[in-house]
Structure 1
Amino acid sequence: MEQELVVIQSLNQIKMESQWFSVVTRSGWTRSGKTT
């Protein structure tokens, strides 16, 4: 049960990071420019 929750959180994290990364790439920023 706990394992499943961790997997879901990881997937959400990856999805948010990839969305943020695509926005950053379109804006012409570098990833090192902002850390969250």
Structure 2
Amino acid sequence: MPHDTTPILVRLGGSGQTIAAAEQDAPPYPVAPTRR
């Protein structure tokens, strides 16, 4: 069980900055049409 939670925590903490940058570069689908 802890093995399944390890990747999730690392992804949220380590990839946190990567996800934020990707969102700024290209907003999600629901936001793309609304912004346009």
**TM-score normalised according to structure 2 size:** 0.44
From the CA coordinates, give the structure whose radius of gyration is larger: 2
- TM-score (norm: length of structure 1): 0.44
